[in-house]
């Protein structure tokens, strides 16, 4: 790094090579973002995006607007797990609001079963599941991970992708959540595991005689 090079940069005659930028930032004891004049703008922008998304999700309001805003945010911050999570959550809600889910009673069964042909056409759920898979690869805190896993199992099952749902359920640590409970969501209404678990839950919730 020569005086001539610095003079050229100051006169807008070029920019430092990429490998020199960290050296310059260290010399002036600033971050690279500060060196480029961001001054925390990135963090503030992300905070605002998350706050706006949370407000819309909590109100269960205009999910189309929420999805649109978060898609733009993901394009700008593609590796931010919290923005990705909100986009996944908003797509799930929008999918319910736009299409919902259908079930019907199968002959000879005591439970209803998923209308796979209808539910599997929900493009918003499919996009959400793709995003959830991405955030699981990046890494999540335990609470967010549990929320994502539970949502994925439920919606894989609704769309008839039972193998994916069951595989995901069986991989989970029972110390965090009952694997049997997850498996009941991962299978269809007339599956043996599902029937046993739901019967147990029904008995647990039944008022006891004194």
Residues 6+ apart with CB under 8 A from 90: 53, 56, 57, 63, 66, 67, 70
Confidence of residue 127 (pLDDT cuts 50, 70, 90): very high
Residue among 118, 52, 63, 71 nearest 92 (CA):
63
Residues 190, 168 within the same domain: yes
Confidence of residue 209 (pLDDT cuts 50, 70, 90): very low
Residue among 46, 28, 49 nearest 37 (CA):
28
End-to-end CA distance of the chain: 86
Residues 54, 121 within the same domain: no
Residues 155, 60 within the same domain: no
Residues 57-112 have pLDDT tens digits of 998 878 899 999 999 999 988 889 999 999 999 999 999 999 999 988 876 666 77
Residues 201, 103 within the same domain: yes
Residues 155, 201 within the same domain: yes
Residues 107, 81 within the same domain: no
Structural domains in the chain (count): 2
Residues 151, 197 within the same domain: yes
Q: CB of 177 within 8 A of CB of 206? A: no
Range name among 74-83, 163-172, 179-188, 194-203 with the lowest pLDDT average: 194-203
- pTM of the predicted protein model: 0.70
DSSP state of 104: E
Which residue range is the domain that position 56 belongs to?
40-86
Residue 145 lies in a domain: yes
């Amino acid at each position: 790094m020569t005086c001539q090079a610095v003079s050229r940069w100051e006169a807008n005659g070029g920019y430092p090579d990429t490998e020199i930028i960290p050296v310059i930032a260290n010399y002036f004891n600033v971050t690279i973002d500060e060196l480029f004049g961001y001054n925390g703008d990135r963090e503030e922008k992300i905070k605002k995006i998350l706050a706006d998304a949370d407000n819309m999700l909590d109100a269960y309001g205009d999910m189309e607007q929420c999805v649109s805003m978060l898609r733009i945010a993901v394009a700008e911050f593609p590796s931010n797990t919290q923005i990705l999570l909100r986009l996944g959550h908003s797509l799930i809600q929008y999918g319910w609001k736009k299409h919902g889910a259908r079930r019907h009673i199968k002959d000879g069964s005591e439970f209803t079963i998923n209308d796979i042909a209808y539910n599997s056409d929900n493009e918003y759920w499919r996009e959400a599941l793709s995003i959830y898979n991405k955030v699981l690869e990046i890494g999540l805190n335990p609470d967010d991970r549990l929320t994502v896993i539970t949502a994925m199992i439920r919606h894989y099952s609704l769309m008839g992708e039972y193998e994916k749902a069951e595989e995901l359920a069986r991989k989970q640590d029972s110390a965090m959540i009952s694997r049997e409970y997850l498996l009941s969501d991962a299978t269809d209404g007339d599956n043996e595991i599902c029937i046993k678990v739901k019967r147990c839950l029904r008995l647990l919730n039944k008022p006891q005689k004194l």
